[in-house]
Amino acid sequence: MIKNIHGKESWLVPILFVLLLIFPLVLTRFYIYLLALIFVSGLPAMSLNLVLGYGGIYQFHHAAFYGVGAYGAALTITKLGCSPWIGFLVGPLLAALLSLIMGAICVRLSKLYFGMLQISLGSLVWAIVYRWYSFTGGDDGIHGVLMPDLIASTTGSYYFTLLVTTACLVAMYVIVKSPFGSALQGIRDNPVRSEAVGVNVKLHQLVALVVAGFFAGVAGVLFVVVDNSVFPDMLFWTLSLEILIMCLLGGCLTFLGPMLGAAMMVALRTFASTFTEYWTLIQGIILMLVIIFLPEGVLGYVNAKFKQLGDATSGGKT
């Protein structure tokens, strides 16, 4: 019976993907943009979960790689005059390179010490972008980034964002289920024992950081595709906090939990802000309630209930 339940659950993913393909045919332009924004917000949360939820690495300034990916693409297009498709490749590679450099410095530390040092280095990157007016535009950012005709429209950018996000999620799922992902989870649970059985803990953590930085850079590129602009707040620590909240809200010990958390955050910010300017207070209250009553996150709670249902059904048959 448990196998049947899991089999039914597995059908939800392709059904959801088909629905997402159909939505632009029935939804208004605003809701198409909103869905694309959810994908763009959920992808960095998913990449953070790769190192936080599965690796136990306290990455507290993940927005630095998200922003660098966006700026890498935008500057390649506007300043260097290259094709947008080249910019789409430069952004994630630049984010991965930054992650490699910062990771090599921080990986010697662990837990909160790692997180605090990374916040310092990430803030330095933000300060460079914020102050370098002649190149990055400073606090004005970069606006009006031209996109190829294929993805210049709202619908085109939506489909492009959906396909790239799906490809990234598939890649991350393969990584999580691979021997590397199993070793990473072993390091999260017991790094001392993992090292004792021959796992190179620091190397695995560094590789995970680079991979997560790359996917965050992809998300930054997708933001440029959707919004045609970049700004220094994309690298600020408050956005890193928001990405972390998405992981906690949806469930950082589940694969798709951060994407659900991102959908909840974007929807709350969009609709609550139309009724009150104190929407952040509502967000804080909801997060507090989730942490108190659903410490495993919304999707983690749902998964636990499914497991209990499966166990009860199996016990009833025996």
pTM for this one? 0.91
CA distance 67 to 114: 20
Q: What is the pLDDT of residues 5-58, one digit of tens each?
A: 334 445 677 888 889 999 999 999 999 999 999 999 999 999 999 999 999 999
3-state SS class at 241:
helix
- What is the per-residue pLDDT for 314? 65
What average pLDDT does this structure show over 174-201? 93
Tokens for 70? 């966006």
- What is the per-residue pLDDT for 290? 80
Asked whether residue 151 carries a pLDDT value surpassing 80, the answer given is: yes
Within 8 A by CB and 6+ apart from 137, the residues are none
What average pLDDT does this structure show over 117-134? 94
- What is the per-residue pLDDT for 105? 95
Report yes or no: 259 and 250 within 8 Å, Cβ to Cβ. yes
CA distance 81 to 52: 37
CA angle 215, 239, 286 (to 5 degrees): 110
**Strand ranges inside the chain, DSSP E:** 142-143, 229-230
Residues forming beta bridges with residue 229, ordered by sequence position? 143
Within 8 A by CB and 6+ apart from 313, the residues are 1, 2, 5
Q: Look over the chain and give the mean of its residue pLDDT values, rounded to a whole number.
A: 89
Q: Residue 148's pLDDT band (boundaries 50, 70, 90)?
A: very high
- Domains (ranges, CATH) in the chain? 2-317 (1.10.3470)
